[in-house]
Structure 1
Amino acid sequence: MARTATPRSTAKSGSRVTRSSPVASGKAAAKSAAPSKASSLPARDAGSNRLDTPSDFAPEAVLAISDALKVALADTFALYVKTKNFHWHMSGSHFRDYHLMLDEQSEQIYASTDELAERARKIGGTTLRSIGHIARLSAIKDNDAEYVAPEDMLRELVNDNKTLIRSLRKAHAVADEHDDCATTSLLENFIDTAERRTWFLFEAARTPDRDGR
């Protein structure tokens, strides 16, 4: 009995016969019709990793402000770690009062870090990237001593808060020079809270005179 042959699609190229699959042909057609992903990206994003957040500040202003904010942020992180260090290693008859005060202050300091970093990003700048970056920029020194007397802890934090205030003021001056009122407003609040911490630490560490003053 003769078999009925199944019809197949064939195409001749010279004397050679090639067979085409309907599925493969469909995939090839779809691939050729699909737009290239690279060509659909905006020109400035194609092959670029720039963090160029849109801003109306001149490039030199963005650089100056974000660099000043980096220094302030580095001092802020360094102060946070030292305040936590002294909070954890507090001792003595005023343990509870000092321990709780430093815990409150460390939370306040840490809360400002994200705002400082994000302010730099909002204007198109960059911010800190590592612990090493913090160490290179911060003027606040570590204290790795095995034991520090409670009053010495507070006095050291007084000076460290004053160091932070100076870097915040410098950043404020740079922002003000470039008419960046949002940054100056943010920094003014942080300067005020740092001055309040300095006041509390100073009074807590001060030895009263014979009249109790």
Structure 2
Amino acid sequence: MAQAGDNAKKALVDEMNGTLADYLALYLKTKNFHWHVAGPRFHDLHLLFDEHATELFSVVDLIAERVRKNDADTLTSIGSIAARTAVKDQNDTTLSADAMVAELRDDNVALVARLKNLKTLAGDAGDTVTEGSVDDWTDQAEQRVWFLSQTLK
């Protein structure tokens, strides 16, 4: 029979893998927009999206290694990412710059909410390292939301 701690750890690992999927999907979407943005703000948005993509990708390995350090398996394929992410695909390469910015802002807002849930689950499971790391990841995501929101004004 599973212990309460086992359930907390399982919930944590499940949420870490979902968060990892979101980071990978949001990274790819951000790079897509980096490649396809056009218009009078091209230069600034092209650079902003690339900066955000780099920041997102820098967290991917950290999350995956936290899963492994919890003695669990992480995502293994494009299919496993697609099955776990809450980030919606965007294949329209003709979106306006403002539509791209708004979509990335909204995806990052959702990521902040997911990270806050992850922090709670890490606390419940007694994983203080993940709990502390999530603070940095949340701050980065909140900064992306701020930058993207200000860009739309």
TM bucket (normalised to shorter chain) is: over 0.9
1:196 is aligned to 2:143: yes
> Is the contact made by 1:66 and 1:125 (CA closer than 8 Å) also made in structure 2?
yes
Question: RCO higher in 1 or 2 (8 Å CA, sep ≥ 6)?
Answer: 2
* Residue number in structure 2 paired with 1:107: 54
Tell me the SS of whatever aligns to 1:125: coil
Largest Rg, 1 or 2: 1
1:97 is aligned to 2:44: yes
Report deviation, 1:126: 1.5
1:169 is aligned to 2:116: yes
> Is the contact made by 1:62 and 1:124 (CA closer than 8 Å) also made in structure 2?
no
- Structure 1: give runs of 5+ residues left out of the alignment: 1-57, 207-213
- Structure 2: give runs of 5+ residues left out of the alignment: none
Tell me the SS of whatever aligns to 2:89: coil
2:89 to 123, 130, 142: 142
**Aligned-residue RMSD, C-alpha:** 1.1
The answer to which of 109-118 and 122-131 deviates more is: 122-131
Q: Distance in 1 between matches of 2:76 and 2:31?
A: 21
Structure with greater helix percent = 2
Identical amino acids, percent of aligned pairs: 38
What is the correspondence of 1:59-74 to structure 2 with a 5 Å cutoff? 59-74=6-21
Report deviation, 1:146: 3.4
TM-score of the aligned structures, taking structure 2 as reference length? 0.93
Report deviation, 1:59: 3.7
Deviation by residue 1:28-49 (Cα, 9 ceiling, x = unmatched): xxxxxxxxxxxxxxxxxxxxxx
What is the correspondence of 1:24-63 to structure 2 with a 5 Å cutoff? 58-63=5-10
Deviation by residue 1:51-99 (Cα, 9 ceiling, x = unmatched): xxxxxxx543432211110011111111101000000001111111110
* Residue number in structure 2 paired with 1:118: 65
1:187 is aligned to 2:130: no
Deviation by residue 1:137-185 (Cα, 9 ceiling, x = unmatched): 1111011113000011001100000111111111111111122110111
